[in-house]
Amino acid sequence: RARSTMGTHETGIYVREFPKGDVRPLADTFSFVPEPNNLNTKFREFSSFPRMAINASHAVFRGQHSPVYTYMLPDGTETRAGTTGLYATLGNDLLRTGAAKLGAVPGFEFYSVPDRPAGTLLPFDVFPGGSAINDDGWIVFKGNWTEDKIGKTGIFARRLIDSPYGGFEQTAMLASSGMDIPNLPPSFAPITFDSTSPPSVAGDYAVFLGLDNELDPHYGGIYRVLIKGGQLEPLVEIGKVLPNNKTSELIRIGEGLSYDGRYLAFWAAWGTEFKTIRLNCPVDGNKDIRDYCNGVDPNSIYDPKTRQWYQLHEVPVEQGVVVMDTQTGIEWIVSSTDGDFNDFVYWTYSGHVPGDDSDETAEPPRWRGASFMAVSDGLVVFKARTATLNKKMEYVGIVDGLYAVDAPSQSMRSTLIETGMDGSLVDPSLAPGTMPVTGVGIERDGFRGKYLAVAVAMANEEAGWGGIYSTELQRDPTLSTDVSPRNRKR
């Protein structure tokens, strides 16, 4: 996903077969939304990262747009529908609609929320976060809908074929809010899921995070389920101790899961100690969201000395990155705040500003924390921060970086790239010493086989530079930590 920074606003989803292929758009603001679309509607925005299948040239992403379909209601009036959806490619550049806000339109019942009473058609409201796709063309996604004026959420799957509408197969429900959380003690009264998080998929299985309370969980965890339907299998649970590590009970689990079909990587926190950090309101990005944080949000506080608005958040002191072998159940804490880093969680202020009609079903603005990692065959690459907290509870002396650990062999941690490093080590087209690295990023599907793809930003006082870069990580006999130009590919 990329967007322009100068001139007219341009944004899109792009693909490149590296290293020989050209960059080409899968969809951008000049592209028509695929069928169903009888209004010649074009895309307007792409609000989540695209994700690819592990061993196939399939991709899926979320797109936003004006209504795509007009039809007549039973009373003879005309109406329009379909302002967001999930769109996929299956081995070519032809877009197919995998899921859409069209479930109430006659003839498109396969886009509706499943498992409803006969004759009841409920459309999805929105598809939060990133969806996932496997080698056979199954998309797995989080969907939100409203039923009896109550907002609900769940995890869904749909098999796509390379035909209009993605075929006619009905969407299937894998889990949902209101479903009983499995594996609780028999003496407990049923406790249901309140929240679910965007899933990962590999082979025939999907994994996702489901909790009884997103902000203060006491039950729930990470579950695996067959995408064709089946019982939820608990892999990691809130309130349990990691079975092969001497930690306290888990109190938090991150939603940014990375799963390759065997190994699962995730962020977790344990213990009872918390620390308070200060999160300053954003100074760039969407103006409406900035303005909302700067005084409209009742949780914001004004600092007259810095003339900044900010909010305070409590975060767990004991936290880290965990890798699990789902075949054996063995787990490794590959890095933690116990001597390694100060934090693994990164915060953004996002959501739907009241009064903005662009996406009325989105959640209101708030600070959302996320951790970033990707795993391949037990080798995990993760993002972490080294810093200190000052008296204002702000991080200072920040160094963010990407690091690699081979969990099964418990290898030494390798530093791949850190802020402050010379940008020419990543991009040989830059003159040495001219632009230090200012930011790094990795997505949950950014490491496949031996190929690692990351985002890197570089800047000096006069200019900025950056892009998506690829390299190879060799796990045997040792990890390659050579960042010289011959091993770094733009």
Closest CA to 344 of 366, 364, 373: 373
pLDDT band per the 50, 70, 90 thresholds, residue 486: very low
pLDDT band per the 50, 70, 90 thresholds, residue 61: very high
The answer to whether residue 120 scores a pLDDT higher than 60 is: yes
pLDDT band per the 50, 70, 90 thresholds, residue 362: low
Contacts 24+ apart (CB under 8 A), 233-237: 234/182, 234/183, 235/207, 235/264, 235/324, 235/326, 236/264, 236/266, 236/268, 236/322, 236/324, 236/331, 237/183
| Alpha helices per DSSP H over 197-334 | 287-291
pLDDT of residue 109: 93
| Alpha helices per DSSP H over 103-183 | none
More confident residue, 8 or 317: 317
pLDDT of residue 359: 53
The Cα-based distances of 407 to 23, 209, 330, 381, 404 in angstroms read 34, 22, 10, 10, 9
Distance CA 218, CA 215 (A): 10
Phi and psi at residue 333, in whole multiples of 5°?
-80, 105
Contact status, residue 130 vs residue 110, Cβ threshold 8 Å: no
Torsion on CA atoms 471, 473, 479, 481, rounded to nearest 10: 10
pLDDT band per the 50, 70, 90 thresholds, residue 148: confident
pLDDT of residue 357: 55
Distance CA 124, CA 478 (A): 48
% residues pLDDT > 70 (the chain): 95
Give the distance, in angstroms, between the CA of residue 394 and the centroid of all CA atoms in the same chain.
Answer: 26
Q: Taking residues 424-450, what's their average pLDDT?
A: 94
Closest CA to 481 of 421, 489, 473, 454: 473
Distance CA 361, CA 376 (A): 35
Contact status, residue 439 vs residue 454, Cβ threshold 8 Å: no
The strand pairing partners of 202, in sequence order, are 205
pLDDT of residue 477: 46
Contact status, residue 436 vs residue 460, Cβ threshold 8 Å: yes
The answer to whether residue 156 scores a pLDDT higher than 60 is: yes
Q: Taking residues 442-455, what's their average pLDDT?
A: 94
Contact status, residue 395 vs residue 387, Cβ threshold 8 Å: yes
- Across the chain, which distance is largest between two alpha carbons, in Å? 71
Residues contacting residue 428 through CB under 8 Å, at least 6 positions apart: 485, 488, 490
pTM reported for the whole predicted model: 0.91
pLDDT of residue 482: 39
Q: Using only C-alpha atoms, what is the Rg of the chain?
A: 23
The answer to whether residue 483 scores a pLDDT higher than 80 is: no
In this structure, the number of other CB atoms found within 10 A of the CB of residue 483 comes to 15
Contact status, residue 276 vs residue 313, Cβ threshold 8 Å: yes
pLDDT tens per residue, range 209-229: 999 999 899 999 999 999 998
pLDDT of residue 356: 57
pLDDT band per the 50, 70, 90 thresholds, residue 247: confident
Closest CA to 487 of 425, 411, 421: 425
DSSP state of 68: -
Contact status, residue 240 vs residue 282, Cβ threshold 8 Å: no
In this structure, the number of other CB atoms found within 10 A of the CB of residue 268 comes to 26
The answer to whether residue 118 scores a pLDDT higher than 80 is: no
Distance CA 344, CA 347 (A): 10
pLDDT of residue 352: 82
User: Whose structure tokens read 């995890």?
Assistant: 155
Torsion on CA atoms 190, 193, 199, 200, rounded to nearest 10: -30
pLDDT tens per residue, range 167-206: 999 999 999 998 999 999 888 889 999 999 999 999 999 9
Contact status, residue 353 vs residue 365, Cβ threshold 8 Å: yes
The strand pairing partners of 250, in sequence order, are 270
Q: Taking residues 107-119, what's their average pLDDT?
A: 89
Distance CA 455, CA 441 (A): 5
The Cα-based distances of 251 to 86, 152, 199, 453 in angstroms read 33, 24, 20, 31
pLDDT band per the 50, 70, 90 thresholds, residue 339: confident
Give the torsion sign (CA, 120, 125, 128, 132).
positive
Give the distance, in angstroms, between the CA of residue 91 and the centroid of all CA atoms in the same chain.
Answer: 23
Distance CA 476, CA 383 (A): 22
